Structure 1
Amino acid sequence: MDVTRMSGKVVLVTGAGTGIGAAVGRRAVAEGARVVLTGRRAEPLERVAAELGGAALAVPADAATPEDAARVVEAALNRFGQLDVLVANAGAHYPGAVLDLKDDDWHAAVRANLDTAFVMARAALPALIAARGNIVVVSSIAGLFAGPEAAGYVTTKHALIGLTRSLARDYGARGVRVNAVCPGWVRTEMADTQMDELGRRSGIDRDAAYALVTKDTPLRRAAEAEEIASVTAFLASPEASAMTGAVVVADCGAGCVDLPTLAFVPDFVD
């Protein structure tokens, strides 16, 4: 790890209290940055900020609310004097196929996964333009493929890639790079909840559920949040200076599998 790669930079992370967001905050500080951690729940944000010390500022807020987004950016500028990177990571899963999704769940999915990125990017852009900074949008392989009974999640994660490319196209000439990362299964609190539900239905424990959902991926495991943070740190760093509008997949190989050929794989193959 290059501990100076992000020296002097200020990084704002949404959904920063747990999982990928917390890992991104830790990685940024480890590489020399100062971080602003935001999310709706104060307690986990404050725990991560306490761990990171004076390099971190916790600002509880709803990233989908324009007034809150403006307040978070203002807090970053007041505390650290600049803003160089936005990691738009906030999101949530609202399961259901189209006929099963209630209006409230659909709107909640749009708000949690898409509005958070749009509203926070809009609030942060003036500072990012001034700093010639960049944005990393955390989408998902659900932004590239459709999982079962997840219409709200799949649609909004696809939309995040469109937002990434629109931002890259419109603000590249003003010095702002924008890229997306698409994780597959990652061991986080949100994924743990889904694994526990799968485990209850299948009569297996959490680890066995993770093994089940990744058994046909080349690496045969879920990623760790720290691995996604590594990809994010690269995209946010000067080492990715020629990259904008890119979609980087970090899914342990899930997206390279030809699904129709799985029937030809014997059960006994390790």
Structure 2
Amino acid sequence: MRLHGKVALITGAGTGIGAATARRFAAEGARVFLTGRRRALLERVAEEVEKASDGTAGGGPPAAFAADMGDTRQARAAVAACLERFGRLDVLVANAGGHGGEAVADTGDASWQEALHANLNTCFVTCREALPSLIDAGGAIVVVSSIAGLAAAPAISGYVTTKHALIGLTRSIARDYGPAGVRANCLCPGWVVTPMADAEMDVLAERDGITRDDAYSLVTKDVPLRRPATPEEIAAICLFLACPESAIMTGAVVVADGGATAVDLPTLPFA
């Protein structure tokens, strides 16, 4: 019950890491407010959370609010709805994101703007609108970036750029609002088994004539733990960063990638 009595707003809560985080937070006593662009997915997760808690966790029924959190008007309405429903806001998990175009020379203006909106604007606008309430509560922000925020993957320049920018945004919030009692930390997962990653694995599977599971094995063959993460494993780290156990941490970048970024790429031929 590490979040007993706390209210958490989670973006991108309809699938993957966001949905797993909603379930874990509710199990730890939080009241969860789920946001995302697809209402049906949010409502399904809300139903799952409510059935799983059965009133025993103390979190109370979750709320689902469909919104594009990169749009100021919609994000402001979502935060207002959360406050109206629960009366406070203690934790923000800024998890929403998307794909990010092609290599720079191949990225058109529309694709670039889409990457900025999905990955960076959504986090920035949500944090800005939530900060007054988080200051009141002495709350915590968990920004979900990616190891693409630490190193470049091929031909997704918008995604790589915006995921790097999320680290700077997190540090800026930590620097400016730490004196007001707000903590902000950034989580950088590697491959996680989510619908978005499944779609990428399916591209590899079709190209190489293999299964989706084989594709996950292929992309993690040089990762020390030799596997992707589950959404539940990433949700557990979100929980740690949101709860009092990490009270001294702010401005930190936490990497959860099975050891991928510990590998010295030029030495792979010696393995």
TM-score interval for Structure 1 and Structure 2 normalised by the shorter chain = over 0.9
Q: Tell me if 1:208 matches 2:234.
A: no
Does structure 2 conserve the Cα–Cα contact (< 8 Å) formed by 1:192 and 1:206? yes
Q: Unaligned 5+ residue runs, structure 2?
A: 51-59
Does structure 2 conserve the Cα–Cα contact (< 8 Å) formed by 1:69 and 1:120? yes
Q: Distance in 1 between matches of 2:110 and 2:232?
A: 33
Does structure 2 conserve the Cα–Cα contact (< 8 Å) formed by 1:87 and 1:135? yes
Q: Which amino acid counterpart does residue 11 of structure 2 have in structure 1?
A: T
Q: What is the aligned partner in structure 2 of residue 219 from structure 1?
A: 225
Deviation, structure 1 residue 42:
0.3
Q: Tell me if 1:137 matches 2:134.
A: no
SS in 2 for 1:185: coil
Deviation larger for 92-101 or 7-16: 92-101
Deviation, structure 1 residue 202:
1.1
Q: Tell me if 1:244 matches 2:246.
A: no
SS in 1 for 2:142: strand
RMSD, aligned CA: 0.6
Q: What is the aligned partner in structure 1 of residue 191 from structure 2?
A: 185
**Which of 79, 84, 87 is the matching residue for 2:90?**
84
Q: What is the aligned partner in structure 1 of residue 126 from structure 2?
A: 120
Does structure 1 conserve the Cα–Cα contact (< 8 Å) formed by 2:5 and 2:30? yes
**Which of 23, 26, 29 is the matching residue for 1:32?**
29
Q: Unaligned 5+ residue runs, structure 1?
A: 266-270
**What CA deviation, in whole Å up to 9, does each residue of 1:99-118 have, x standing for no partner?**
11111111000000000000
Q: TM-score, normalised by structure 1?
A: 0.96
1:22-171 to structure 2, matched below 5 A, reads 22-53=19-50, 54-171=60-177
Q: Distance in 1 between matches of 2:221 and 2:62?
A: 38
Deviation, structure 1 residue 89:
0.3
Q: What is the aligned partner in structure 1 of residue 203 from structure 2?
A: 197
Deviation larger for 200-209 or 157-166: 200-209
Q: Distance in 2 between matches of 1:261 and 1:55?
A: 51
Q: Distance in 2 between matches of 1:103 and 1:35?
A: 36
Q: Which amino acid counterpart does residue 48 of structure 1 have in structure 2?
A: V
Q: What is the aligned partner in structure 1 of residue 57 from structure 2?
A: none
Deviation, structure 1 residue 226:
0.4
Does structure 1 conserve the Cα–Cα contact (< 8 Å) formed by 2:100 and 2:160? no
Q: After the TM superposition, which parts of structure 1 deviate over 6 Å for at least 4 consecutive aligned residues?
A: none
**What CA deviation, in whole Å up to 9, does each residue of 1:57-101 have, x standing for no partner?**
000000000011111111111111100000000000134100111
Q: TM-score, normalised by structure 2?
A: 0.96
**Which of 245, 262, 267 is the matching residue for 2:268?**
262
